[in-house]
Each structure stands twice: as C-alpha cells, then as structure tokens.
C-alpha cells in the first residue's frame, strides 16, 4: 500500500516532468486555469483600485455638498453688527441664526479675510432682547425654519421600502447562487460527488499497492473488464454491478479504489456516504439519483462510496424518527439504483466499510454487491513490500534492513507503516542526519507504540517496585511454553506507563490455541503477582493488565467456546455491536455463568503465576537487579540475566508491546 503524499514526483504519460498535472475536477480546463492564474491577481488589484477611487470621489463630493460657507461668529459680534445696521438677512432654526452682512466683516480680527455669510447661536438667557424689532426697523429680512422639517420624498421612499427591497434582493441573490446550474431546492438535491480524471503526476495505480495481492487481483479483473468488455461478453459474462471492500481501518480500501481510478480509463465519481444525508428529508435520495444519472450519462463509469455503513446500516435497527428515516430513504434509493427496473448498465459501484456485519442484507445480495473483497492486514512479506513503497522517496542508510523492520511490526497495516516511515524521517531530521538509519526507525517504533520518554523523578522505592513488576511480566514470558519471546524490558517511563515489557511472536499468528491464551493471561498477571510476592501488597500499576486479561478470558468463555461449563455457545454480541444492556439473545443465567467462568480462569492463572514466581524467585531477583542497573534490557541481555537460552530466529531489534 502507499499514499501519493509520500511518493516522489513521477513523469506523466507524456514524459515531461514539468507538466504538473493533478487529479482535477471535471469541467475545469487547463487553459482556464492558466488564464485564471495570470489574470486573477491583476483583477483583484483593479477591483481594489476601483473601490478606492469610488470612496475618494464620494468623500470629495460629500465634502463639497456639505461644505458650509457661513463663518461662525460670537453672538456679541452679531449684536454689534445689528446695532451697526449691517445685517441684511437672517434665518433662524431653533436658537441657531444664519444670515448675511451688508458689508463683509473681518473675523477674527486681523485675520485678513472678510465674510458676508455668518452663523451664530442665540443664548437661552438672552430673553426678550428686542432683537426682532431692531432687525425689522433696519429693514433686514427675517426668516425661520422648522426645527424638525418633514422628510424629503426620496428619504421616505428609501427608509420605508429600502430594507424590504434589500432583504428581497438578498434572498434572490442567495437562491440564484445556490441554484445556479443545480436542481432541487437551491441545489440541495444535487450530488456532492467529485469526478476525477486520470492523467495526474500523483496518479495512484496498482504499482502503488502492496501487501493486499488478493484484493488487488479482484479489482484488476474489474479494470480489465472495463477496458475489454468484449472479451467477457463473447462468453456470456456480465460485468459485476458492485464490489464491496471491507476490512480493518488503514488496510488500504480507499487506496485500492484510487488505484482503480488510475488504472481504468473511465470516469470515476467519488463520494462519502455521509454526504448524502442532509437535514431536509428526501435530499439524500435525490442526491443518489443525481449521482447515478451523471454516471449513466458517461457510462461506462465507476462510483466509489466511502464509509458505506453511514447509510447502509440494516433497516429497522433503530428508531423511526428524524435522521433515521432520511438514512433509510437514502438506502432504499441506493438499492433501487443498483438493481431496479431502470437498470444501470455500465455503472459499477465500489464501496468501502469497516463494519460489513451491520450492513443491510439487501445490499449484500448478488445483483447489487456481487463481490465482497476482504482487505486483510498484510503479512510479513506484505509489510516489507509496503515499506519499500513508502521509502521510495526517503534516503535510507546502508544499514537499514526493511525485512527486519517488517518482522518487528506484526499486526501493523499500511497506514501504520506509513506513519512509522514518516516518524523515522522526522526523527532523522531532528538528529541532523543526512539519511534515515535503522536506529531512527526503531526509535520511531518505540515512540508510536509506547509514547515519548517522560523525564520525571521517581522515588527509589517506586522505581524498585516497577522493576519487580516488569521483571514478573518478562520472566513469565520466558518460562511459559509457546509464549511470545521477550524482546525488550524497560523501567523508563513512557506515555502513561512507568515501565514496559515488549514481546512479539517469531512468525505471524492467525489463530491461537487455549494454552497460548492462558499463557498470555499469566504473562499479564505476572507483574501483579511479583509485587504481591515481594512486598506482600499490591498497587494500582496492574490496572491495565487486569483489564486486558479479563477481556481475553471473557472472549475465551463467551465467544470462542473455550469453557467446558458454558460450552460452544456464543454468549457475547458480535464485535462492534456491544451494548451496555448485554446480549439480548443471552439469558441472565448464562451471563452469570460466563462471569463465574471468567473469574475461575483468572484465579487459576494467578495462582499458577504466583507458584511459578515463588519457585523462580532467584531469577526474578536477578532480572530485577539487571533492570535497576541498566534501566533497559534488550532480548539478549534479558535472557542472559536469568540464564535462559533463547534460540534467536530473528533480529533482536524486533519488538511489539505486549504488557505494561
């Protein structure tokens, strides 16, 4: 598996490395993009220049229109001019008086400028000063204006109808924007799926997929059918209507769909199932119809729906209100489009989900999803191939052995390995290296699995108790037949743990027998038993160990049929369907029996663990002393400290967290 974000740049089909094509949305032409990139900055500058010019012109015009040519003078100056019979006209509004002098008056004195128009304020305490009679006797024209004059017609129109017109215009603009080229309620019923075209520099192909060869082979046949349909049609074969990709997160389901898009020379529509759901009932079904209609116009075509369980959950599995009805309507429309009366010849549906067990059975029948491809975590050779893809653009030192790294990462999927490589590159850059060395990869693996080292001061007594705790885990792992070999022991605090014991199997395991599982439980309880044996008391440090051991014992009893008392009966709900109310198909008496059996297994394993540590007390003390001295022991040092021979079948750098 791979991700295009980690790949080096590759030439496109034309061989020109400078042609920077990417997956692009259909309908956006290259020359349009170039024109936009050239003219967009200039258009933005022109726009702001125009806006600035309009604001400046508005300020100048407003200033000119609102300019007042009346000189403000004190009331005493005004009275002096009245007494001098130099006032030709006055107009009052409230206590404000404006007018014109008969002859220009220089104010302020000695200012060098004379004004005819004047304005002043009449004090309230002026009282009856005979000003009106004096002005009339001198022949001055006296006018008055209302303090609150009626609004002009244009003001009435603007303030009465303006807000309403503005609101209506805003609604029209919004609906035009939303509904431009779209159907339904402003485009709500329009599919949000993206159409991609191959011809990209970062195009993903089957060459970028590794570790999941079986799934790749299934989809390679699908691509071949799209390229050469006549080869299959002459023998009466029909193209599959749908392919469901299922598997744990990070295994490469979406990557496979992108590889199909890169390999098949057909239109490819990609969407997430959650994008169909909207707050308006019926929108999801409308979007499904629109998506299939667009694909049928361009058939043959591929539709990819990611996280199908968002709408594909079994109908009737919840209440019938709100979003549940909308989800069921969307699911019904998908069922109809995939295999209804209308038919969708030439349209293939790819879907991905992490939870195939909760999907509606109507989705999984032949005629809809004809093929169900399980994408499993990769094995050791698969992990090596994935690492090779992810390290193509990363300079590796000569000492890096990808095979040993693949052996050290059982259970990791493609996304985990990609993160590991990225963390190793960041670690090498932080250390100032020119290339990624093996120690960078092992350091990144420890950081991902265990967390960053915590530089905290621990009390010597607590440090010693932690050493006994981790020595108990490790010693049980060394002594239990068939247990995973111990790879590393440390009492350096990491993450939330004060110490860790790491182990991995010599080879990938796909099934586990009863003795192996019981041995796992004993290893988990070894730390708690060592504390009780040495100190006669216990601490909270074994909380996670007890939780994991209890869950393992409960699965043995209620899911895997490993208890004679319960028998081969499934008492627990399937994975992913756990409920706080328990399994509705299991009686209370059966669940009580399961609880008793779980407690019996834990108690028996703990008693055997105490007995074994008591008999091997000397080795427990020796391993604890070595831990207190060195703080961290690798595989060779750990087995040497207790004088137990270990047949190394793989490098000592391989490790994985088992207990803490």
Catalytic residue IDs: 470
What count of residues does the chain have?
660
Cβ-contact 360, 314 below 8 angstroms: yes
- Rg of the chain in Å (alpha carbons): 41
Beta sheet of 500-503, edge-to-edge order: 632-634, 486-490, 500-503, 657-659
Q: What angle do CA 224, 225, 229 make, to 5 degrees?
A: 125
DSSP state of 494: B
Phi, psi (rounded to 5 degrees) for 351:
-140, 150
Give the separation between CA 480 and CA 520, rounded to whole angstroms.
9
Percent helix / strand / coil, the chain, rounded to 5: 50, 15, 40
Q: Is the dihedral of CA 636, 637, 638, 639 positive or negative?
A: positive
Q: Count CB-CB contacts under 10 A for residue 618.
A: 10
Q: What angle do CA 295, 300, 302 make, to 5 degrees?
A: 60
Q: Which residues contact 487 (CB under 8 A, 6 or more apart)?
A: 502, 503, 504, 634, 635, 652, 654, 655, 656
Give the separation between CA 83 and CA 104, rounded to whole angstroms.
15
Burial of 542 (0-12, 13-18, 19+ CB in 10 A): buried
Give the separation between CA 276 and CA 191, rounded to whole angstroms.
7
């Amino acid at each position: 598996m791979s991700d295009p974000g980690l790949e080096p740049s590759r030439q496109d089909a034309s061989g020109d490395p400078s042609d920077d094509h990417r997956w692009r949305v259909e309908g956006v032409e290259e020359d349009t993009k170039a024109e936009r990139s050239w003219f967009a900055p200039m258009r933005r500058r022109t726009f702001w220049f125009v806006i600035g010019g309009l604001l400046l012109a508005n300020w100048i015009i407003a200033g000119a229109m609102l300019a007042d040519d009346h000189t403000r003078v004190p009331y005493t100056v005004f009275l002096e001019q009245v007494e001098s019979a130099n006032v030709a006209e006055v107009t009052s509004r409230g206590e404000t008086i404006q007018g014109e002098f008969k002859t220009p008056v220089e104010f302020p004195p000695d200012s060098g400028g004379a004004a005819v128009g004047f304005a002043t304020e009449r004090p309230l305490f002026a009282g009856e000063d005979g000003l009106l009679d004096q002005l009339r006797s001198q022949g001055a024209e006296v006018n008055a204006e209302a303090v609150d004059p009626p609004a002009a017609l244009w003001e009435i129109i603007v303030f009465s109808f303006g807000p309403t017109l503005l609101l209506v215009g805003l609604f029209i603009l919004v609906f035009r924007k939303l509904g431009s080229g779209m159907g339904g309620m402003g485009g709500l019923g329009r599919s949000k799926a993206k159409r991609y075209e191959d011809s990209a520099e970062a195009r993903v192909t089957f060459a970028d997929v590794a570790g999941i060869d079986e799934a790749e082979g299934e989809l390679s046949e699908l691509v071949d059918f799209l390229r050469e349909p006549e080869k299959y049609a002459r023998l009466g074969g029909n193209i599959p209507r749908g392919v469901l990709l299922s598997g744990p997160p990070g295994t490469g389901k979406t990557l496979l769909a992108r590889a199909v898009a890169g390999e098949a020379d057909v239109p490819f529509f990609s969407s997430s199932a959650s994008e169909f759901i909207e707050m308006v009932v019926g929108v999801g079904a409308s979007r499904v119809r629109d998506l299939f209609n667009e694909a049928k116009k361009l058939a043959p075509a591929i539709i990819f729906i990611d996280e199908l369980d968002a709408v594909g959950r079994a109908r009737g599995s919840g209440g019938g209100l709100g979003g549940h009805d909308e989800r069921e309507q969307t699911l019904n429309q998908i069922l109809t489009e995939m295999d209804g009366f209308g038919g969708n010849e030439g349209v293939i549906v790819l879907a991905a989900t992490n939870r195939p067990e909760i999907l509606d059975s109507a989705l999984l029948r032949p005629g809809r999803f004809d093929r169900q491809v399980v994408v499993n975590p990769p094995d050791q050779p698969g992990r090596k191939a994935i690492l090779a893809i992810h390290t193509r653009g990363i300079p590796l030192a000569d000492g890096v052995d990808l095979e040993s790294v693949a052996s050290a990462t059982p259970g990791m999927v493609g996304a985990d390995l990609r993160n590991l490589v990225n963390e190793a590159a960041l670690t090498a850059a932080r250390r100032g290296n020119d290339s990624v060395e093996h120690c960078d990869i092992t350091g990144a693996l420890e950081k991902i699995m265990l967390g960053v080292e915590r530089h905290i001061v621990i009390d010597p007594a607590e440090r010693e108790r932690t050493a006994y705790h981790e020595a108990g885990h490790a010693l049980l792992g060394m002594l239990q037949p068939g247990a995973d070999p111990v790879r590393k022991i440390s009492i350096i605090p990491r993450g939330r743990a004060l110490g860790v014991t790491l182990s991995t199997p010599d080879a990938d395991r796909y099934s586990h027998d009863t003795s192996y599982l019981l041995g796992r439980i004993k290893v988990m309880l070894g730390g708690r038993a060592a504390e009780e044996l040495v100190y006669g008391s216990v601490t909270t440090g074994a909380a996670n160990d007890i939780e994991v051991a209890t869950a393992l014992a409960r699965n043995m009893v209620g899911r895997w049929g490993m208890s004679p008392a319960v028998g081969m009966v499934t008492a627990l709900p399937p994975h992913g369907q756990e409920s706080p109310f328990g399994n509705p198909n299991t009686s209370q008496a059966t669940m009580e029996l399961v609880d008793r059996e779980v407690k019996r297994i834990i108690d028996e394993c703990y008693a055997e663990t105490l007995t074994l540590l008591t008999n091997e007390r000397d080795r427990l003390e020796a391993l604890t002393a070595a831990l207190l001295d060195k703080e961290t022991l690798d595989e060779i040092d750990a087995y040497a400290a207790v004088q137990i021979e270990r047949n190394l079948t793989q490098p000592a750098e391989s490790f994985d967290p088992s207990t803490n």
